[in-house]
Amino acid sequence: MKSPSKLVIIVLPTIFGGSGDAVNERQLIKYLCRHKSYRCIVFSFYFSGIRGLLRLKRAITDVYKDYQNLNIRFMPIPIAIPLPLGLMLFVELFTSLLIAMIVWILDRIKHVFFIYVRTSILALGFVLINTLAKKTCVKIPTIGEEEVLKSKIPSLIYNVADAHVLDKARAIGVPSPLLLKRLVIKRKVLPKGRIILIPAGIDREKIETLKAFTLNTEGTSVKSYYVKNHYIVGFLGYLEWWQGVDILVKAVAKIKDLLDKPVKLLIVGDGPERRKIEALCKELNVRCSITGFIKHEDALKLLKTFDVLVVSRVKTSTTESNIPIKILEAWALGVPVIATRHEIFTYLGLKDKEDIIFCEPYPEDVANKILIVLKNTELRKRLSKKGLSLVKSYYYDIIARSILKVFKRNDAR
C-alpha cells in the first residue's frame, strides 16, 4: 500500500476529556483526516494532576478508538499541575513557537499540506513563519478575555494573538459571521485570509448509531440516571457561570409541584460550578442528579431521555454568536430545546414555538417555558420533528469538506 504523501498538522488546546470543545474537535478531526493520502499529526495538551499522568496512556487509547482506521498520530503535551490563566497563556505561546519550528522542519522533509489550529494563541508561532502561515487555518471560537475574569495580561495576549492571526493566516475559521463582526470591531483588524464558517457540529455516523439505542433494553451505566414516570428536565455541558445552570435550578424549583408527574433535573457534565449547583439544589429541595464527566456516547444516550433540554445561558459576545453543540445534538436526537433568545438564533431565522422555545435567562421565564413544553405533548412532538431537519447543515463531514476545499485549490509548496 502506498504511504500517505501529505502531512496534516492539527494543534489543539485539548482533545482529551468530555468538554464540548474537546468533543467538537475530536469529531472534526475524524473527517479532516479521512483521506488516505494524508497522515495527520495531532498536538494537544493533556491536563491532569501528577497522578493523572499515569492515566495518560488510557486517555490516548480512548481517543484512538475513534480513529483506529485513520492515519493519525497523537502527540500529547502533559500539564501535570494547575496553572494560573496568565501563566498558562505563556505556556501556550511558548508551545506554539516550539511546535511551529518542528512543523517547519517537517515541511522541508515531507510536504505539509494543511495546518489547523484552534485558538489564536496556539497559532501565533505558525503565522509568524510565512511559509506556514500560507497553509494555516485558525479557528477563533471566542473573544477570549470575555470568557475569563478580567485581567490586563490575558487581555493583552488575546488581543495581540488575534490581531496577528487576522492579519497573516491563510484562513480564519469562525463559528458565525456575528462573532467575526464582534472580533473585527474589538481587535480593529480586518482579516486578510479566507473566512470559513466552522460552527459546532455533530458526527453523522455517531448520531445514526445512537438513534437506534434503546435505554430500557440495553443495560448500561447510564441507566441508573434514568427515572421512569418522571419528567426529565436536563442540561448537558460544562458547568461554568455563563451556562446559567443556577437559573435552571431555580426554575425547576418553581414548577416541581405544578405538573401531573414529578420533575427530575438531570445535569450531564461537570465543572467549577458543580458544588454551587449541588448546594442550590439542596437548598431549594430540587431532585437532581449530576453525572460528572462521562463518555460522550453515554452523555448522548442520557440526552435522548430528556423531555426537554434547557440552555438558559447568560448573554456574552460568545453566547450571542454561537449555537452550542448540545443544542445541535438535541435536535439530532429529537429532543425539544428551550434556549435563551440569543442574537445568533434571530440571525438564522429560527422561530419561537416552531423551531425552538425562546426564554430570557431569568428563573421565572425559564420556569414558564418549561411548563409550556411539558404540558403540551403536541408541541413537544412538533419541536422534535423540526429539530431533525434543522441539524442537517451541521454535520462535520460537510464542514470538513468546506475547510479542505480552500487548501486544495493552492496545494503547492
- pLDDT tens, residue by residue, 55-109: 666 666 666 666 766 788 888 888 766 777 778 889 999 999 999 999 999 999 8
Mean pLDDT of 259-264: 91
For residue 341, pLDDT over 50 is answered with yes
Q: Which of 41-50, 143-152, 364-373 has the highest mean pLDDT?
A: 364-373
DSSP for residue 393: G
Q: What is the DSSP string of 97-150?
A: HHHHHHHHHHHHHS-EEEEEEESHHHHHHHHTSHHHHTTEEEE--S-GGGGS--
**Domains annotated on the chain, with CATH:** 6-201+395-408 (3.40.50.2000), 204-393 (3.40.50.2000)
Residue 52: the pLDDT is: 58
Mean pLDDT of 125-148: 90
Beta carbons of 322 and 347 less than 8 angstroms apart: no
278 against 214, higher pLDDT: 278
Residue 413: the pLDDT is: 40
For residue 54, pLDDT over 70 is answered with no
What's the CA dihedral at 37, 43, 47, 50 to 10 degrees? Answer: 100
245's grid cell:
445552570
pLDDT-derived band at 45, boundaries 50, 70, 90 = confident
Give the three-state DSSP class for 276: helix
pTM of the predicted structure, to 2 decimals: 0.86
